[in-house]
Amino acid sequence: MSRLHKLLKKLRRRPAGKRVGMRRPTYAAPLHDAAKEDELRTILIADPNNREAFTELAELVWHRTVESAEHEHYEDALSAESSQNPEEAAQDAAHNAVWSLAEELAGNPHAWYPLVELARLSVHEDRDGAMRRLTTAAERDDSGKALAEALKMLRDAELPADALALGMGHWRVQDHEPEAGKQLIYAAVEAGRLAEARRHFEALIEHPDTKYVGKIRSELEGLLNE
C-alpha cells in the first residue's frame, strides 16, 4: 500500500468529536512549502514517474488543502453560510486537489505512475475509467513496470479478474520485467484461474532475467501447489 493510499484511508475515516480546549492550529502555510513544492515539481517534470516525489508532493498538497478548507469552513460557519461537516468539506477539497495534481502530471505523454494513482483514487467509484487509465499507463511504458504496478493496484483493490484481463492483454514476457509476470500469476490464482496461472508461470521461467526468476521461482511454485 502506497503512502498516498494510506493517507487516503486515514483521512476518509469518520472524524472524532471536537475536543474542547484544544489549541486551534495555524492555517498559514509554512514558508518552506513553496520552495519544496517547486523542487518536487522540477523533479516530476524531469521524471513524472518518480514515485517518491509524487507521493511527497501529493501529501504536501493534501495537508495544505485540508488546513485551508478547514479555515474557510470555520469562517463560513461564523457567518452561517456553511451546512457541510467541516472535516468532510476539508477531505473533499483535499481529495480534489490530489486528483488535480495527478491529472496534471498524467498529461505528460511519458507519465504512467500518475495514471496508476488516478486509477487507485477512482477504482471503486469509476471502475471503467480506472481500467482505461491503467491501460493507458501500461501502453506508455515498454519496461513492464507500469503494468506490474497496475496489476498490483487491482489486486490490492480485490479485483484480480480485472488484473488478469489487463495483464493478458499487455504482458510481453521477453520485453517486460519479470515482476509484471509475477503479478499476473498472483492475479490468476486469486481469480481462481489456476490453469492460466500455470501457463503464465511456464512462460515466466523462460524470461531472460534468470537471476530474478530464480529468486521468485520457489515462491510461485508454492503458490501454484497450494
Tell me: pLDDT of 217 over 80.
Answer: yes
Tell me: pLDDT of 38 over 80.
Answer: yes
Whether residue 69 contacts residue 97, with contact meaning beta carbons closer than 8 Å, is answered with: no
19 vs 118, more confident: 118
Answer left, alpha or beta for residue 21, where phi above 0 means left and psi between -120 and 50 means alpha: left
Q: How confident is the model at residue 2 (pLDDT cuts 50, 70, 90)?
A: low
Tell me: pLDDT of 33 over 90.
Answer: no
Q: What is the DSSP letter of 191?
A: T
- Mean pLDDT, the chain, whole residue set: 83
pLDDT per residue over 63-105, tens digit each? 888 777 665 554 544 445 545 566 677 677 778 888 999 999 9
pLDDT per residue over 146-171, tens digit each? 999 999 999 999 999 999 999 999 99
Q: What is the DSSP letter of 177?
A: -
| Rounded to 5°, angle at Cα 122 from 104 and 44 | 30
Residues of the chain above pLDDT 70, percent:
76
pLDDT attached to residue 226: 79
11 vs 51, more confident: 51
Query: Distance between CA atoms of 162 and 139, rounded to whole angstroms?
Result: 16
| Rounded to 5°, angle at Cα 16 from 6 and 96 | 45
Closest CA to 162 of 198, 201, 193: 193
